[in-house]
Structure 1
Amino acid sequence: MSGALHGSEPDHPSREAVRERKVVKPTPSELMEDTGTGLDYGIRPDRMPGYITPIDRFFLRSHAPTPHLNAATWSLRIEGSGVREPITYTYADLWEMPLVSMIRTIECAGNRRTLFGEEHGHKFNGTQWGRGAIGTAEWTGVRLRDLLEPAGITPDACDVMPESLDEIHARRPMPLAKALADDTLLALAMNGETLPPDHGYPARIVVSGWLGAASIKWVGRIEVSEQPLHVPWNTEDYVLIGPDYPPQAPSLGMPITALPVASLVELPWPAQLRPVPQVIRGRAYAGENRVTSVEYRIDEGSWQEASLAPPEISAAWVRWQFSWHPEPGDHIIRVRATDDQGQTQPDTVPWNDLGYLYHPVLSHPIRVESMP
């Protein structure tokens, strides 16, 4: 990564050019799926080149328009009852600290919500995600613990909550242990480039293996507390609410943290193929864990092992593939992944009112026919 990006800002279009758009980067339909909110765009599953997701097609999830922040005047304040001495960092301060890079996947907890709704004949509230609210990047920045520890963490500190500088001041607490983990990061760069505006410039949190909402973008403040922190994002939203999830007061259900194991076929839904030899590819992801195997099943056939391609690391997806010579007609491909804790994708998942964490084995429809 070039040192030239140390003090530079990413190129911004003119304010006039972005006035009618809520996000900055282009979101062409040949790369991105528009959910209709003007804020949220998923990657097309058949447009995933390589292991790392390019910035131009990394999914977007925001709760307010992308803010236009100036690194020269931006600062990060760490404060709260859980530190002995509040501390403020400038953008230049961060670049002078030890930097680390790590590959991590980020996925929205609402990914596949529309498929969940179709299973139950129900349209959930919230962003109407298909399968594209997921992406993997190399994140470069400062370990969060290296920013917190100079403020003097108190013995009774228990929760850490980053807060965004967007219009709604998005915020989501995490336990102190997660904040101090080796792979919880304040990211300054993405795929070797200064963070783009839509992805959190000047700085964002990356909370490995957890729901995307925990990886707060445009962070400007971090509260460390000696009391558990409760905000709408861990009491009313990003919470599993339903008969199988008793309330954990003051939360209406079970707050979502680490994500479960799930898989993705890199084909449109439904897909159309020719009756010639094919290589079917996809990704599997297991939250904080590592995917160790992926199996596939064609129609009513037996489960077979797919091949995994390196890298195979925790908190990031793995690529898989298998060969298939399909016969003309309609077919179903099913895929299931297993992680290093022995957890395998289930056939079904319990209902929850907000349509989160839909991760069962999916029946992917395929039409095979000769094409002109």
Structure 2
Amino acid sequence: METRLRRSTAALIGVLAVGAALAVGHLVAAFVGIGASPYLAVANSTVDLSPPWLTEFGKQFGPEWDKRLLFIGIAVVIAGLAVAAGLLSRKSAMPGTVLAVALGVVSVVAVLSRPDLGQLAILAPLAAALAGIGVFQWLHGLAAREQADDVEAGVTRRRFLITSGGVAAGVGVAALGGQFAGSRVDVQASRRAVGPIVPAERAPAIPAGADFARAGTPSFLTSNADFYRIDTALTVPKVRAEDWSLRVHGLVDTELELDFADIAGRRLVEKIVTMTCVSNEVGGPLISTAAFVGVPMRELLMEAGVRPEAGQVFATSVDGWTTATPVADMLSEERGALLAIGMNGEPLPQEHGFPARVVVPGLYGYVSATKWVVDLELIRDGEKTFYWQDRGWAKEARIKTQSRVDAPRAFQDVPAGKVTVAGIAWAQTTGIERVEVRVDGGEWRRAELAPEVTDQAWRMWKLVVELPAGNHRAEVRATDRSGYTQTEDRVPPIPDGATGWHSVSFTAS
């Protein structure tokens, strides 16, 4: 009599087998490179292969939720495939085995495509595939025998259930073991050991009234916890200061190999810089300001000796992410690019690039702000393409003059009468000359500007208007020191930054 597994039993076998594969792969990856974990490798490949519109859609959920949604989505797909593998194998283990092999091949390809993993990393997906196939065939054979016994002799399914429970427990232990082993790099202890980052040259003091926070603007300096984060790292790289090094090479006279002590022991300078993500929609939140401390990039490049034919600095992160910045912007004394190791008086937070990152004022982050940087190669202009350029973004992206209404908030109900409209404007390295506001399509009125701290940072503005009860709409536009007034024309972020006037609708009552 042909044995046909119960649907619930078949589905459970598929889920346990896939769970075993992922757990064993994660455990092995903890020793050969955590990015080789099949789940993470597939997730990273998904990010790399996603079309730009999908990537931009995900960014709107914020730096944490876009990654959580990706993880959840991949988990749902994997769970569905696991159940399908089980249900297709009710008569024979072969369909599930074939699907397991196919998933193993996908994992191997994903790992091999990662630029930050060595050759040994392939051990993780191979171990995962062997574990998944082995568990699947073992449980399938056991269930088939027990179910046949049930039919012929009424034997209970106790042994299969006990074995399944043991497999589930083993999956949990392997997964936790991999997570524990993969977390053995204590980045926070390394940050604490670095201690306060004290610059030899401090940034100009921030004057009183540099923000209108009481009127609804952000505080002038953004706390490290609130500083926006956009990157492709699904798991934040863990690099200790004592393990980090930076290579400067390519079209230079002298190749440099620098460790953290080399950088920290140099003359450090502090600069207040507003950073902006190119993905920021008109009025969006992907903009923050911090006091960064580091070594002027100009000094490092001059020490290496930049050859005349060098046009770009090709930067690589520890996780393989790349970008390219014009050499002229790196060398500009006025712009003052930094190899930063400090942020708001402390070592860089792990999620913002510890131990070191690049900060180039006036350029959108995707061409100016490599976190966890480990390699700077001087190349000819256009000799290489970088991560976001390969996905349709512009080769160069200078920050566009923009402004935003922060108060009143969209659809907020405020008391009628005197209403304070307030917000921020930015034109990094050029500076803001004036900000104008109009309400309900009326005349443009010049807003009050907060004192300027530096032309490399945002500037706050506010305007008090008298409004009757009813629905209202406030619009803002900024003019920079070059005389350019931002355009009304709405352009999406891709390929080199959004444009348009920001407006907010609210109610006075």
- Both proteins in one fold, TM over 0.5: yes
The DSSP-based 3-state class of the residue aligned with 2:420 is: strand
Q: Once the two structures are superposed, what CA deviation does each residue of 1:176-232 show, in whole Å capped at 9, x if it has no partner?
A: 111112211111111111110111110110011100112111101100124533324
The DSSP-based 3-state class of the residue aligned with 1:332 is: strand
Q: Once the two structures are superposed, what CA deviation does each residue of 1:299-340 show, in whole Å capped at 9, x if it has no partner?
A: 021100000011253221101011123322111100000001
Partner of 1:242: none
- Contact preservation (8 Å) 2:216, 2:423: no
- Contact preservation (8 Å) 1:33, 1:132: no
Partner of 1:7: none
Counterpart among 280, 284, 304 of residue 131 in structure 1 = 284
- Contact preservation (8 Å) 2:237, 2:318: yes
Counterpart among 328, 336, 347 of residue 177 in structure 1 = 328
- Report the Cα offset of residue 366 of structure 1: 1.1
Gap change, CA 1:365 and 1:356, over 3 Å in 2: farther
Counterpart among 451, 454, 474 of residue 310 in structure 1 = 451
The DSSP-based 3-state class of the residue aligned with 1:57 is: coil
Structure 1 distance, partners of 2:487, 2:429, is: 18
Question: What pairs with 1:209-224 in structure 2 (closer than 5 Å)?
Answer: 209-213=362-366, 214-224=368-378
- Contact preservation (8 Å) 1:141, 1:187: yes
- Contact preservation (8 Å) 1:290, 1:314: yes
Question: What pairs with 1:150-229 in structure 2 (closer than 5 Å)?
Answer: 150-166=303-319, 169-182=320-333, 183-213=336-366, 214-226=368-380, 228-229=382-383
Partner of 2:278: 109
Q: Once the two structures are superposed, what CA deviation does each residue of 1:232-270 show, in whole Å capped at 9, x if it has no partner?
A: 44633362xxxxxxxxxxxxxx43421111101113333
**How many aligned residue pairs are there?**
305
Partner of 2:468: 327
Counterpart among 62, 84, 90 of residue 34 in structure 1 = 62
- Report the Cα offset of residue 351 of structure 1: 6.0
Partner of 1:264: 404
Tell me whether 307-316 or 136-145 shows the greater mean CA deviation. 307-316
- Report the Cα offset of residue 48 of structure 1: 5.1
Partner of 2:162: none
- Contact preservation (8 Å) 1:162, 1:172: yes
Gap change, CA 1:261 and 1:227, over 3 Å in 2: closer
Which residue identity lines up with residue 322 of structure 1 in the other structure? Answer: L
1:336 and 2:364 are equivalent in the alignment: no
Partner of 1:71: 241
Q: Once the two structures are superposed, what CA deviation does each residue of 1:7-63 show, in whole Å capped at 9, x if it has no partner?
A: xxxxxxxx9xxx9999xxxxxxxxx973631389xxxx9975421111111111111
Question: What pairs with 1:40-51 in structure 2 (closer than 5 Å)?
Answer: 49-51=218-220
Structure 2 distance, partners of 1:355, 1:234, is: 10
The DSSP-based 3-state class of the residue aligned with 2:328 is: helix
- Contact preservation (8 Å) 1:111, 1:356: no
Tell me whether 267-276 or 48-57 shows the greater mean CA deviation. 267-276
The DSSP-based 3-state class of the residue aligned with 2:221 is: coil
- Contact preservation (8 Å) 2:419, 2:466: yes
Structure 1: tracts of 5 or more residues without a match: 1-14, 23-31, 116-129, 240-253
Partner of 1:357: 497
Larger radius of gyration: 2
The DSSP-based 3-state class of the residue aligned with 2:323 is: coil
- Contact preservation (8 Å) 1:139, 1:189: yes
Structure 2 distance, partners of 1:227, 1:344, is: 31
Structure 1 distance, partners of 2:223, 2:381, is: 40
Structure 2 distance, partners of 1:181, 1:99, is: 17
Gap change, CA 1:141 and 1:178, over 3 Å in 2: same
Structure 2 distance, partners of 1:164, 1:310, is: 36
Structure 2 distance, partners of 1:255, 1:151, is: 25
Structure 1 distance, partners of 2:490, 2:327, is: 30
Structure 2 distance, partners of 1:33, 1:310, is: 33
Structure 2 distance, partners of 1:209, 1:56, is: 23
Gap change, CA 1:39 and 1:149, over 3 Å in 2: farther
- Contact preservation (8 Å) 2:397, 2:496: no
Structure 2 distance, partners of 1:317, 1:107, is: 10
Structure 2 distance, partners of 1:306, 1:153, is: 45
Partner of 1:11: none
Structure 2 distance, partners of 1:309, 1:72, is: 42
The DSSP-based 3-state class of the residue aligned with 1:93 is: helix
Structure 1 distance, partners of 2:244, 2:361, is: 25
The DSSP-based 3-state class of the residue aligned with 1:79 is: strand
The DSSP-based 3-state class of the residue aligned with 1:56 is: coil
Give the structure-2-normalised TM-score.
0.56
- Contact preservation (8 Å) 1:265, 1:281: yes
Structure 2: tracts of 5 or more residues without a match: 1-29, 31-36, 44-59, 70-212
Q: Which is richer in strand? A: 1
The DSSP-based 3-state class of the residue aligned with 1:322 is: strand
Q: Which is richer in helix? A: 2
Structure 1 distance, partners of 2:412, 2:395, is: 35
Structure 1 distance, partners of 2:243, 2:253, is: 25
- Contact preservation (8 Å) 1:59, 1:134: yes
Structure 2 distance, partners of 1:109, 1:231, is: 18
Partner of 1:54: 223
